[in-house]
Structure 1
Amino acid sequence: MPIKFRMGPVGENIDALQEGKVDVIAAVSPTMERSQWMALSNPYYGLNTRIYFRPDSNLSDPGSELSGKKLGVIGSSSPEEFVRRWLPDAYPIEHDTVSEMIESLFSGEIDAFLGEPVIVQSALNRHGLVGEVNSSEYFNLNEAVGAGLLLNRSADLLPELNNGFRAITPDEYRAIENRWIISSRDRYFRHSGSAVELSDSERRWLGENPVISVLVDNNKPPFSYVDRRGQWQGMTIAYLKLLEDRLGITFQLHQDPVWTNALIQAYRHDVDAVAMLQKTEERSRYLNFTKPFVSVPAVILARVSDKSIRSPGHLNGKRVGFTPGYVTYEIFQQNYPGINFVKMPDIATGLNQVASGVLDAMVVNLASASYEIERMKITNLQVVAEAGFNYDFSMASRNNSPELASILEKAVDTITPEDREALESSWLSIQGGMWRPNKELFIGLVLILVTLILIVYWNRRLTIEIADREKAEEGLRIRSELDRLLSDISRHFMDQPVHRANDYFLSRLGLHLNAEAVCIFSWEPRARIEHYWSSSLILILRPLSHCLTMTLPVFMAR
């Protein structure tokens, strides 16, 4: 199919599409206004928009408070619509290019402007202003990018566009991006995951709702918390940023000092979603849940000196700390009604009271317990037992928005094991006193056992071989000595008289056998001793029982 390209500013291209002068806009982001007449292909890219300001201005960081500020935006762009809809107290000032916004910033006509990092950095390089402009830490707008076309032509063209984009492999996308964007930090395809494939109705819903309000616990490290600078930190935040990138949307984070009050907002549907929440029957009445994507074991912590607690059943009658709004309390209250639960404002307070003896124990997820114990340098607490369940965390969304539930479910499905490893390794340090056998341990034990069996076998075999060799050497030694003895005796019988030869024979034989006496005994014509030798050298006739007797007629004198 032949394709003719037409270049122009965003506003002109959108007008040309509406007037039918072009069939497709190659790169456009969805907005509420555009969704009324424009269809968008499956997103093939994502953009991140930030607020830029001069560091030497009176504004330390305008991103934290934009009310009354003059913000530069590109005319007819999605950031312009975002400012008008979501920042009604700010004043958007339209410009045609990023270079114009930079000039207005330095001339004082605007307080800050919205732009994509790669485009802004390129413009600053051309103006020689690198390092003269900062980006806000408090503002981060994500946008999905796809091809746009008129709704009345989407039935024919949209499937062709989606098939074409789908035919491009991730490696090909990555190679194209690497060619044009130098900094890996600004690349969309720096992660292994890809954009989420959504239906037409789901993409239209996102176009109408590019900002999703999410309830987040502000005091639950290492999952989510606000640091001393007022910045969100934690594993939950890392997951939310990943989903923002995949969906091309922006999560607006909400918090409440008391988590139970925060959950009331979810019950009233004052927020669109809740991050990292456990599913219960009660919560399922007003929230939809994705499949769990983070699982952490629940454990019982007690003092090292307390030997009375070794299982959940030992908590009956004990003072056990809990934090309201978490499933821990709900599960234990049902299964162990004899426990004296004591409400704690947060996990850190509960652990301190267990350490000081005010509480007997606390049931908590192992990740938070490990983090707080390490942070507070508590040394007298230990994991004494498993609680019998895991904290399975999901994304939850208000149940009156099925499109949002489906979108979040599809986004969670794109999270790979590699994504989990990268996100969780920086935050989860699960340490405890519970021994938990795993496959690697069993493999190690089998290897050790096989090694020990081989060592025992070879040692046994070597011992037998050595014993056999020593036995053979002893036999050879005895045989050699007998050969020498018989040879010596034979020479005496050939060279000496018979009686002297017999005496020599008896002496050698007695010494060889370590006998006290040796004699040659004859029975004919009557019993008598023919020859006798004694080691005492005194010729005393001994009882026959003390004499090695030999009946050797061949040696008798004739």
Structure 2
Amino acid sequence: MRRRSAWAVLAVAATALVPLLSASPPARAEGAAQPLRFLPERDYGPFVFIDEQGHLAGLSVDMLQLVLKQAGLHIQVLPAAPLKLQLQRLRRGEADLISSLRPTPERGAYLAFSVPYVSVPAIVVGRAAEAPGDTADGGTVLSALVGRTVAVGEGYGVEAFVRSRMPQVNWQAVPDDVQALRGVAEGRFDAAVVDTASAAFVKQRHQLKGLARWGTVGFEYTLSFAVPRERTDLLEKLNDGIRLVPRADAQAVIAKWMKPIEDDDFLRREQGAVMVGVAGVLLAVVGAGALSWAWQRRRQERRQVS
């Protein structure tokens, strides 16, 4: 049987979600008087990054444009920078919006998160010639890293997770996944913890050779848009926009960013050549989140009426 491509499978998932994404839509939100100050990451492809022409690009960027159109919002794009710096700016009140962010308790102290729109697993990537023996999925690969030097994105959601899970590893915080994987390829790090889609994208874009997937770490990057915690009005508009994104537009985003990297080894399980793909990427997660959010909203409306 011919294997379906990852983005084609996701297109089927999108079709199944049409009733949810289009049923009983709320009135479109009015645009804000001032554009929202958006903080993009500099190098987190394929989600948000600066391309070779110096333009902001990525799956999250395209999805944000779709959401803004539905929500009647506009943005002012601020200078791109590593995630750690952008989070510091958000805490100081210097911006209104960031993308591609996983909720964590620490971030929840000053940020509020939209329903998720993409989910990818974190993996360990090392040099193919040095792969440990048993690297079955389930996080057991971390035990093979004890005493070794492993890169992880500074301020990334997975950083606190792996540091607490395996403190015996010599964790090295780096600005982004490009620095992490390049350091592995050049021999400065023994391995790196990154997400599957980013690993495939960076390897192809920067032509890194000799890298292999060693296993998963038991952590899922479930990414959302985030706003200052007090901006509940903005959060509601973003959630409205996510739920109203047309199916065809969302499918086009999937095909644009996932199809070029779908055949990379980082995106596959070895057993049966089954695609891990981007592990239930995009609309399947959006649908589940939107369903939960829509139910909660209807419940609140019923309470107000009663």
Tell me which interval the TM-score lies in, with the shorter structure as reference length.
Answer: 0.7 to 0.9
Partner SS for 2:189: coil
2:105 match: 281
2:198 match: 368
- 1:243-262 Cα offsets, whole Å, 9 max, x none, are 12212221212234332121
Q: 2:269 aligns with which of 414, 419, 435?
A: 435
How far the C-alpha of 1:271 sits from its partner, in A, is 1.2
How far the C-alpha of 1:394 sits from its partner, in A, is 0.4
2:147 match: 317
2:75 match: 251
Q: 1:301 aligns with which of 95, 120, 125?
A: 125
1:234 match: 58
> Are the counterparts in 1 of residues 31 and 74 from structure 2 also a CA contact under 8 Å?
no
How far the C-alpha of 1:374 sits from its partner, in A, is 1.1
CA RMSD of aligned residues (A): 2.7
Partner SS for 1:255: coil
1:197 matches 2:31: no
**Residue identity opposite 2:149 in structure 1:** R
1:425 matches 2:258: no
**Residue identity opposite 1:435 in structure 2:** R
**Counterpart mapping for 1:89-488 below 5 A:** 197-198=26-27, 203=29, 206-308=30-132, 310=135, 311-415=141-245, 418-428=248-258, 429-430=261-262, 431-432=264-265, 434-435=268-269
Please give the alpha-carbon distance, in whole angstroms, between the structure 2 residues aligned to 1:267 and 1:344.
Answer: 21
How far the C-alpha of 1:343 sits from its partner, in A, is 2.2
Please give the alpha-carbon distance, in whole angstroms, between the structure 1 residues aligned to 2:80 and 2:256.
Answer: 26
Please give the alpha-carbon distance, in whole angstroms, between the structure 1 residues aligned to 2:241 and 2:197.
Answer: 25
> Are the counterparts in 1 of residues 35 and 73 from structure 2 also a CA contact under 8 Å?
yes
Partner SS for 1:426: helix
Partner SS for 1:249: coil
How far the C-alpha of 1:269 sits from its partner, in A, is 2.4
* Residues 343, 208 of structure 1: alpha-carbon distance in 2 compared, 3 angstrom cutoff: closer
**Counterpart mapping for 1:41-52 below 5 A:** none
Q: Which moved more, 1:217-226 or 1:296-305?
A: 217-226
How far the C-alpha of 1:212 sits from its partner, in A, is 1.4
TM-score of the superposed pair, with normalisation by structure 1: 0.41
How far the C-alpha of 1:273 sits from its partner, in A, is 1.5
Please give the alpha-carbon distance, in whole angstroms, between the structure 1 residues aligned to 2:231 and 2:168.
Answer: 41
- 1:520-558 Cα offsets, whole Å, 9 max, x none, are xxxxxxxxxxxxxxxxxxxxxxxxxxxxxxxxxxxxxxx
* Residues 363, 209 of structure 1: alpha-carbon distance in 2 compared, 3 angstrom cutoff: same
Please give the alpha-carbon distance, in whole angstroms, between the structure 2 residues aligned to 1:389 and 1:417.
Answer: 28
> Are the counterparts in 2 of residues 319 and 340 from structure 1 also a CA contact under 8 Å?
yes
**Residue identity opposite 2:269 in structure 1:** W
**Residue identity opposite 2:162 in structure 1:** F
* Residues 367, 195 of structure 1: alpha-carbon distance in 2 compared, 3 angstrom cutoff: farther
- 1:401-426 Cα offsets, whole Å, 9 max, x none, are 21111111121222466543321221
- 1:402-457 Cα offsets, whole Å, 9 max, x none, are 1111111121222466543321221122432552669x89xxxxxxxxxxxxxxxx
Partner SS for 1:295: strand
* Residues 314, 256 of structure 1: alpha-carbon distance in 2 compared, 3 angstrom cutoff: same
- 1:27-51 Cα offsets, whole Å, 9 max, x none, are xxxxxxxxxxxxxxxxxxxxxxxxx
* Residues 359, 207 of structure 1: alpha-carbon distance in 2 compared, 3 angstrom cutoff: closer
User: Between Structure 1 and Structure 2, how many residues are aligned?
Assistant: 245
Partner SS for 1:276: strand
* Residues 269, 314 of structure 1: alpha-carbon distance in 2 compared, 3 angstrom cutoff: same
Please give the alpha-carbon distance, in whole angstroms, between the structure 2 residues aligned to 1:418 and 1:196.
Answer: 17
The answer for unaligned runs of 5 or more in structure 1 is: 1-191, 442-558
**Residue identity (%):** 25
Please give the alpha-carbon distance, in whole angstroms, between the structure 2 residues aligned to 1:423 and 1:437.
Answer: 28
* Residues 425, 215 of structure 1: alpha-carbon distance in 2 compared, 3 angstrom cutoff: same
Q: Which moved more, 1:389-398 or 1:248-257?
A: 248-257
Q: Which moved more, 1:252-261 or 1:240-249?
A: 252-261
**Residue identity opposite 1:320 in structure 2:** V
How far the C-alpha of 1:384 sits from its partner, in A, is 1.2
Please give the alpha-carbon distance, in whole angstroms, between the structure 2 residues aligned to 1:384 and 1:333.
Answer: 18
- 1:294-325 Cα offsets, whole Å, 9 max, x none, are 01121110111113363121111110011212
> Are the counterparts in 2 of residues 300 and 383 from structure 1 also a CA contact under 8 Å?
yes
The answer for unaligned runs of 5 or more in structure 2 is: 1-20, 136-140, 276-306
* Residues 223, 337 of structure 1: alpha-carbon distance in 2 compared, 3 angstrom cutoff: same
How far the C-alpha of 1:227 sits from its partner, in A, is 2.5
Partner SS for 2:63: helix
Please give the alpha-carbon distance, in whole angstroms, between the structure 1 residues aligned to 2:55 and 2:23.
Answer: 27
2:16 match: none
> Are the counterparts in 1 of residues 43 and 82 from structure 2 also a CA contact under 8 Å?
no
2:286 match: none
> Are the counterparts in 1 of residues 84 and 175 from structure 2 also a CA contact under 8 Å?
no
**Residue identity opposite 1:339 in structure 2:** V
